[in-house]
Amino acid sequence: MEIKIMDDETCDISIGEWIPNPDGPYYTNTTCWAIHEHQNCMKYGRPDTDFLKWRWKPKECELPIFNPFQFLDMMRNKSLAFVGDSVGRNQMQSLICLLSRAVYPIDDSISPDENFKRWKYVDYNFTLATYWSPFLVKMKEADADGPTKTGLFNLYLDEADDKWLSQIEEFDYVIFNGGHWFTRCSVYYENNQLVGCRYCGLPNVTDLPSTYGYQKAIRTVLRTINNLENFKGITFVRTFAPSHFEGGEWNKGGNCVRRKPFISNETSLEGLNLELYTIQVEEFKAAEKEGKKKGKRFRLLDTTLAMLLRPDGHPSRYGHWPNENVVLYNDCVHWCLPGPIDSWSDFLLHMLMFEGRRSHEEKLQFMKQ
């Protein structure tokens, strides 16, 4: 396969438009076994396929389509972990499907728990892992139902989740994500002291916005990475991917029935989506600044605008059989596979291609301090 190298590493790939791509998709639900059932839109009868025929075109440059052979060659003798919620798992499964054109991995999981999977690409000695940590910080489920039947969670906002923290130092690349779970009913703790909550309904407890818990959690994660002496890898913060419920909230009849992307001037980032995105960017910049003093490397995998423009890419009701009893009946949070989320690997490969030069320059700056 011809390998194209972009010569413009300063291009902001986060700003652009979706343009037609008659060559897509690059796998199907019959050629890839890694698709989670609830994102298997073709299997469950989604009738249209036009949503598979688009690619992301940055405003100022070209973004080549993901090349699995090039990616695997760059990942030789390396490891990559996804840490966060089920949209992070969605991204990992997309990557496995895109890589399936080259080779499939073997299951190398340490635990039988599906939330903590590990895959090995033997010929490349490349390990891919996922750590399900929807709040990223230490969490205890206080009530399976809670006030709104979505659970009540105790969040320890100044303590990173040990499920990923205990193993993260062995990885060369880590991609963090989070956001969707922070709208759930939660009780916030700092220094083991109750400081407030979100929709908890407990007497004499201050109700705080979900952004309070989110900012504290992101800050804790990035500070924790900065303080890990033995972690020598690269930390990616993958920005928030907005949901697209219209006509109601997720539990009040909301759905996503559009069949083509927005053009960038048809919509804008606003409300909670804008707040979560702003928090991520601000906390990333603060951690990056601090990290440069310690030789740590942070990267922003900014997919927010691209995904804001894809209301057509969700499973909606095509993630289950019509008579099946599921929590998220119309799923406008996750992404069909194949689908727009496959473009995240285009973003990732583009960033990795320039990583050697960028890391070398940062190392030189660190040594001069």
- Give the active site residues: 86, 331, 334
Strand 297-301 to strand 234-238: parallel, antiparallel, or no bridges (unpaired)? Answer: parallel
SS3 per residue for the chain: CCCCCCCCCCCCCCCEEEEECCCCCCCCCCCCCCCCHHHCCCCCCCCCCHHHCEEEEECCCCCCCCCHHHHHHHCCCCEEEEEECHHHHHHHHHHHHHHCCCCCCEECCCCCCCCCCEEEEHHHCEEEEEEECCCCEEEEEEECCCCCCCCEEEEEEEEECHHHHCCHHHCCEEEECCCHHHHCCEEEEECCEEEEEECCCCCCCCECCHHHHHHHHHHHHHHHHHCCCCCCCEEEEECCCCCCCECCCCCCCCECCCCCCCCHHHCCCCHHHHHHHHHHHHHHHHHHHHHHHHCCEEEEECCHHHHHCCHHHCCECCCCCCCCCCCCCCECCCCCCCCHHHHHHHHHHHHHHCHHHHHHHHHHHHHHC
Q: Among positive and negative, which fits the CA dihedral 123, 126, 130, 131? A: positive
Distances (CA, A) of 257 to 124, 245, 330: 41, 9, 10
Output phi, psi for 235, to 5 deg: -100, 120
